[in-house]
Chain A
Amino acid sequence: MKKFVHDFIVAFNNRLNSRHFILELQSPLPLPEIFPGQFVQVLVHNSPATFLRRPFSIHFVDYAKNTLSLLVQVRGEGTRHMGMLKPGETLNLVYPLGNFFSIPSSGKVLLVGGGAGVAPLMFMGDYLNRKNIRPDFLIGFRSADEVSQIDEYSKYGRVFLSTDDGSMGEKGFLTQHSVFSQSSFPYDHMYCCGPDAMMHAVAKLAAAKGSACEVSLENFMACGYGVCLCCITQTDKGNERVCVEGPVFDAARLRW
């Protein structure tokens, strides 16, 4: 798949809460076809501390506006800098990178995301709807003040919610949600993105319920296009590159 590297123009910088924001980036060139689960490598300028690019899942693609959006959690200097970008400023991306979620031909779909890990699921929800598949979402947040975009997700499917402190939705980790304690589990396919520990737990539940499960990993990487070999994960085929063979893997293949 052809890859590109060029500046995008910041169309919007939408602060969701104290830790998260959405950057909507407009391309000066017509966007190529992009698939849910793929990511971009962002160059953050002007600091020795932000030497490498930072990988981000693609949160949404709007071909009509020729934009792609990133859902970003403030973690360090790079994401802080990105959070201060104003409309009209530019951001250099390498894209589209990595593989993508498989699209099921039949069966019921659950999209599971925690924290900023929910990022690729909006795009996946939209994509599935365009393929006439209506998924359910299970989204976990720390607390009510971080819950955002529920109306947006609801456009694409039913939304189940959990918060660690119980301030909204069901209380506890999303793996403790009552969705998983139904007498007959209705989902044939699960797609999951979030912290490693959460994905482990979800993959285990999926295996126990007999549901297929794909997870999107976010290992540390330098290049993002397969040459540095830093982001490897162990699979049934040995070491594979999260940036090329992934970031999406069938959870059953991982030796993590």
Chain B
Amino acid sequence: MADLNINIAGIQFKNPVTTASGCFGYGEEFKEFYDLSLLGGIFVKAVTGSNRDGNKYPRMAETPSGMLNSVGLQNKGIDHFCSHIYPLIKDFNTRVIVNVSGSTISEYVEVAARINELENIPAIELNISCPNVKHGGMAFGTVPETATEVTRAVRDVYKKVLMVKLSPNVTSITEIAKAVTNGGADVITLINTLLGMAIDAETQRPVIATVTGGLSGPAIKPVALRMVWQVYKAVNIPIVGLGGIMNATDAIEFMLAGASVIQVGTANFIDPMAAPKIIEGINEYLDRHNIASARDIIGALKVS
């Protein structure tokens, strides 16, 4: 049995496998399938300043080896989160990290400041990369100056571990990674979904109501791996990697490219047992390769 413990920015994860925001609700639904304490951590659904109904139906299209979504950050806002959700999740025996989104810098700051007060949340993941909202979201994550600005503004009020989740919809991911590092990020999460589109040729209409949406699943894995690798070489802060991870081999690939922790996203929709299976598979891989610790494979890609 290899050592699966990972420490990033002072947070101890019992293994590198966590679940991605927007793909795991608040964990409740998965209790019916397995013991959540198996997980390294849970990144819960994005929280915004006030209630958001999200986008119109249809919000989803199946695409080759992936799916397109345009949920649009549906959630009941930070007040409801603090009063109703936090009590349900605060005693999970795993790391619970909250994804934070907003339409304005002040909204991000307001939500981050509120979560700073919640004792059992060791970190937030700043979502400057949602492609499915009209204002904010990805707009903050595609221009280096605004990425620095929003990160810095949140850094000023948020005293625990600040993770920033990047959008792949940029020309240079390393520029954005450096920008949020300069803004005070402790950890970088990447990637969010790729902006995409699906058309029904028979009806000659877009498949989802918002016309464009975020592409996830194995279709985006090569892009995600490339970006994790580039960012790993460009900055000195830890990386949480995601994008199309379906099994342990995928997870290992992300760690070799430079991710310290990985997130399982869309795979949760297809196999509710995906995350625990990945933990087992990583353990089996490390034993098979006589590697003592999961830490030893982070960024261990042999390029030459």
Contacts and interface: CB of A to CB of B under 8 A. Distances in A.
Interface of A: 1-3, 5, 43, 48-49, 51-53, 94, 219-234, 238-239, 244
Contacts of A220: 58-61
A94 B54 contact: no
Contacts of A229: 22, 54, 59, 71, 74
Given A52-B269, A239-B54, A227 B29 contact: yes
A90 to B, nearest CB: 15
A2 B59 contact: no
A48 B24 contact: no
Main secondary structure of the interface of A (DSSP, over half): loop
Q: Which 3 A-B pairs have the closest CB atoms?
A: A230-B60, A223-B269, A227-B25
Nearest to B70: A230
Contacts of A53: 269-270
Contacts of B59: 220, 229-230, 232
Contacts of A48: 64-65
B69 to A, nearest CB: 6
Contacts, number: 88
A228 B33 contact: no
A5 B33 contact: yes
Contacts of A228: 22-23, 60, 69, 71, 269
Contacts of B66: 51
A231 B55 CA distance: 11
Contacts of B91: none
Given A5-B271, A219-B57, A227-B269, A51 B29 contact: no
Nearest to A50: B62
Given A48-B64, A51-B67, A239 B58 contact: no
Interface of B: 22-25, 29-30, 32-33, 53-54, 57-67, 69, 71, 74, 217-218, 266, 268-273
Given A49-B64, A51-B64, A52-B269, A233 B32 contact: no
Contacts of B67: 51-52, 222
B183 to A, nearest CB: 30
Given A5-B33, A5-B271, A5-B273, A230 B69 contact: yes
A219 B59 CA distance: 10
Contacts of A230: 58-60, 69, 71
A74 B72 CA distance: 32
A52 B61 CA distance: 10
Contacts of A224: 269
Given A5-B33, A51-B66, A227-B269, A221 B25 contact: no
Contacts of B23: 227-228
Contact of A51 (B25, B30, B32, B62): B62
A238 B65 contact: no
25 contacts: A3-B32, A43-B271, A48-B64, A51-B62, A51-B64, A51-B217, A52-B62, A52-B67, A52-B269, A53-B270, A220-B58, A220-B61, A223-B268, A223-B269, A225-B29, A226-B25, A227-B24, A227-B269, A228-B69, A228-B71, A228-B269, A229-B59, A230-B59, A232-B57, A232-B59
